[in-house]
Structure 1
Amino acid sequence: MGREFDVIVFGATGYTGRLVAEYLAQIGAPRWAMAGRSAAKLEQVRAEIGAPADTPLIVADSQSPSDLRTLCGRTEVVLSTVGPYQLYGTELIAACAETGTGYVDLCGEPGWMRQMIDAHEARARETGARIVFSCGFDSIPFDLGVWTLQEAARARFGRPAPRVKGRVRRMKGTFSGGTAASLKATLAAAARQPALVPVLASPFGLTPGFAGPHQPTGMVPEYDPDIGAWVAPFVMATINTKNVHRTNFLAGQPYGPDFVYDEMQVTGLGDMGKAAAEMLAKFNPFSGDSGPKPGEGPTREERESGHYDILFLGLMPDGGRVECVVTGDRDPGYGSTSKMIAQAALCLAQDVPSEGKGGIWTPGALMAKPLRTRLEGQAGLSFRCG
């Protein structure tokens, strides 16, 4: 490799960035560095997480194009946890696109993502920059879950499932303070820029020039006869469904041009399941100020006791079915997400050839198979089809 590092963790002094750096230190990842605005804070975090004393530290400001170009020139991949990305990530995307540098983040901000696609995808293709958004709980388990289900559908039926349902059956843990801040920033951006509203509203907001068939909104509680339970709106569906459709779009529509997909949260059976679904539909986890702020999060015990279980159900026109289940062994917003993005960055740096792969990608479209192998082997995820 021609550059000094495989991965630089940008934002290593923040809550999630610190977890990523700690994980890389624990697994003994080679050729990585920590970056942030303050040398003193970087030194403090390096010591507190038990990283080797010779782990390189790089001072860079997210608003300084010269800092960011220098940063990019030293690494194969920048792993950014500096969000909301629409506030702090634009200059870094531009620097990666110009310097042909790989990039992964935790972005769940579709309006900004579409702006970056429109502004920088052509240049990224020219320079070979592989830019991959949404490498955390939004949207890796869902993106790779659908990819795994379609792999099983083709093996069993000889063709993909035209209708797939994502159903979150269990989830213990919380969303990150960064996720809440990103949602608020997205709503503020839409108020300032009405042109973003169609992007945010459409399941095909990240597939420029392509719009598939009508998709379920997932916004109303309902009884799902295919799983025999009540389901309610799932708060991350807005970004996950866009990324799943973008994967299909970028990969040449292996799920088919008429692919239909939605995500909802399972609440249970009978009247209790119905009541829970109706209550959940009215609940906004991001309202008020009671949730974690950016830079805050749960204790280690809370992170390690968290988990999630997601069912993917593929329905064939002749009545055939295929089911896949994705599970994670930590809370989704922090413990599992920090491992997922770290493995995504290592996969991009070490497993995915860069030649001819420049552009703005999803995890599923660029590195589904090697990333799934890494996640199962080193990040506590499982992908099972039956």
Structure 2
Amino acid sequence: MATDFDVIVYGATGYTGRLVAEYIAGAYPEGVRWAMAGRSLSKLEEVRTEMGIGAHVPLFTANADDPASLRAMCARTSVVISTVGPYQLYGSDLIAACAATGTAYVDLCGEPGWMRKMIDAHHEAAKTSGARIVFSCGFDSIPFDLGVLTLQEEAVKRFGRPVPRVKCRVRTMKGGFSGGTAASLKATLAAAAREPSLVPLLASPFALTPGHKGSSQPSGLLPEYDATVESWVAPFVMAPINTKNVHRTNFLLGGRYGDDFVYDEMVVTGLGEMGKAAAEALAKLNPFADNKGPRPGEGPTKEEREAGHYDVLFAGLMPDGTRLDAVVTGDRDPGYGSTSKMLAESALCLVQDVTGEGGIWTPGALMGTELRARLVKNAGMTFTAG
């Protein structure tokens, strides 16, 4: 399908959208046809000037409450990058437009209830049109999705079969969550209050695998001493979305990780009484409980983003106790600096590296090793196994 652009950044005047636009402009000064879109043309012009992006980058308007403008945007590009969330409030018509027009799509979504609704409503239409729709192309859930993929690839090489038990343990993480993440969680809780039927879906690790349930999974809701990593561990706030995406990847890959695959995510807090106390405190902490954090459209300074980083361990255990590890690291804060690079590279991976049939995908299932190679080369991430 011939289009005017490879990529359109939709929501380019927002905080994360600006970072994505800045990254594309700096990393791909030529060779990528791209444009910026949002509700206000004057605001887009202001942002483009402020960020030093050349006037050759086109601007045009598109609005979440104007489906015709969304379809017009889709008709002009190979891939839409959407940073306009919460997606359950502002994203449904864009997914419908992409599915209808065969336009590829990536976002930062961590809203499993909405994602399941979109899967149920548009997966088949996307398959028919050829639209490759990929949710969760940021810190939730690329490091975790591709981390498990990396571990399982190595397991098959070494053992001839996948590892049935994987423990994801976040060892270090410096940098906060975005204002959009907080707004998305609040919107999800509000949706669950309006629709009680969403509650069991949100609680299920298999919420994104329609018609399929695997082995019983750990809840990850309580602090515990983990002998595998010889440390106390605490619940990880992103686990409710990451675990669902990892299981959907396994589902879309035809059960490549096995029908007995068990996976959880927790944060390492340390040894002894101090580690235990830290785990217990973290288990009680709700980082979104007040309004002190950034609001949608707000975020840290450039210096703060560049000072951030993360290190995530994936410990794979075979039935006989043999252990195989993989590690994923990132060189920027997870919620902003690293996420903006992951999102942009995911879109360009769909343009330049990956074909594949239409449908609603995960990064690991559709882009897998190709995306991993891009992130290592361009986005300051590492993936190691051994």
Which TM bucket (shorter chain)? over 0.9
Report the Cα distance in structure 2 between the residues aligned to 1:197 and 1:348, rounded to whole angstroms.
Answer: 33
Contact 1:141–1:326, Cα closer than 8 Å, also in 2:
yes
How do residues 201-212 of structure 1 correspond to structure 2 at under 5 angstroms?
A: 201-212=203-214
Equivalent residue letter for 2:5: F
Report the Cα distance in structure 2 between the residues aligned to 1:316 and 1:208, rounded to whole angstroms.
Answer: 28
Secondary structure of the 1:194 match is coil
- Give the equivalent residue in structure 1 for 2:56: 54
- Give the equivalent residue in structure 1 for 2:303: 301
1:42 aligns with 2:44: yes
Shift of 1:56: 0.7
Any idea what the Cα deviations from partners look like across 1:223-273, whole Å, max 9, x if unmatched?
A: 000110000000000000000000000010100011000000000011110
- Give the equivalent residue in structure 1 for 2:370: 370
Given the alignment, which residue of 112, 123, 127 partners 1:121? 123
- Give the equivalent residue in structure 1 for 2:142: 140
- Give the equivalent residue in structure 1 for 2:333: 331
Any idea what the Cα deviations from partners look like across 1:303-332, whole Å, max 9, x if unmatched?
A: 000000000010001121110110000000
Q: Which moved more, 1:313-322 or 1:133-142?
A: 313-322
Secondary structure of the 2:9 match is strand
Secondary structure of the 1:134 match is coil
How many positions carry a matched residue from both structures?
384
Equivalent residue letter for 1:343: E
- Give the equivalent residue in structure 1 for 2:89: 87
1:267 aligns with 2:269: yes
Shift of 1:41: 0.8
Report the Cα distance in structure 2 between the residues aligned to 1:347 and 1:4, rounded to whole angstroms.
Answer: 18
Equivalent residue letter for 2:369: K
RMSD over equivalenced CA pairs, Å: 0.7
- Give the equivalent residue in structure 1 for 2:24: 24
- Give the equivalent residue in structure 2 for 1:185: 187
Shift of 1:197: 1.1
1:215 aligns with 2:227: no
Shift of 1:196: 1.1
Shift of 1:112: 0.2
Shift of 1:80: 0.1
Report the Cα distance in structure 2 between the residues aligned to 1:187 and 1:373, rounded to whole angstroms.
Answer: 36
How do residues 238-277 of structure 1 correspond to structure 2 at under 5 angstroms?
A: 238-277=240-279
TM-score normalised per structure 1: 0.99
Equivalent residue letter for 2:196: P
Runs of 4 or more above 3 Å deviation: none
Shift of 1:53: 1.6
How do residues 307-318 of structure 1 correspond to structure 2 at under 5 angstroms?
A: 307-318=309-320
- Give the equivalent residue in structure 2 for 1:351: 353
Any idea what the Cα deviations from partners look like across 1:53-76, whole Å, max 9, x if unmatched?
A: 210111111111100111000000
Secondary structure of the 2:197 match is helix
Given the alignment, which residue of 150, 153, 176 partners 1:151? 153
Q: Which moved more, 1:209-218 or 1:44-53?
A: 44-53
Report the Cα distance in structure 2 between the residues aligned to 1:28 and 1:385, rounded to whole angstroms.
Answer: 30
Contact 1:178–1:293, Cα closer than 8 Å, also in 2:
yes
Shift of 1:47: 1.2
Any idea what the Cα deviations from partners look like across 1:137-173, whole Å, max 9, x if unmatched?
A: 0000000000000001111111100000100000000
Secondary structure of the 2:332 match is coil
Equivalent residue letter for 1:376: V
Secondary structure of the 2:287 match is coil
- Give the equivalent residue in structure 2 for 1:14: 14
Any idea what the Cα deviations from partners look like across 1:92-119, whole Å, max 9, x if unmatched?
A: 0000000000000000000000000000
Shift of 1:345: 0.4
Equivalent residue letter for 1:352: V
Any idea what the Cα deviations from partners look like across 1:315-359, whole Å, max 9, x if unmatched?
A: 0011211101100000000000000000000001111114xx100
Shift of 1:199: 1.1
Report the Cα distance in structure 1 between the residues aligned to 2:302 and 2:242, rounded to whole angstroms.
Answer: 27
Report the Cα distance in structure 2 between the residues aligned to 1:112 and 1:146, rounded to whole angstroms.
Answer: 24
* Structure 1: gaps (5+ residues): none
Equivalent residue letter for 2:225: Y
Shift of 1:91: 0.4
Report the Cα distance in structure 1 between the residues aligned to 2:134 and 2:106, rounded to whole angstroms.
Answer: 5
Contact 1:25–1:50, Cα closer than 8 Å, also in 2:
no
- Give the equivalent residue in structure 2 for 1:384: 384
1:162 aligns with 2:187: no
* Structure 2: gaps (5+ residues): none
- Give the equivalent residue in structure 2 for 1:2: 2
Report the Cα distance in structure 2 between the residues aligned to 1:114 and 1:292, rounded to whole angstroms.
Answer: 27
Equivalent residue letter for 1:67: S
Secondary structure of the 2:152 match is helix
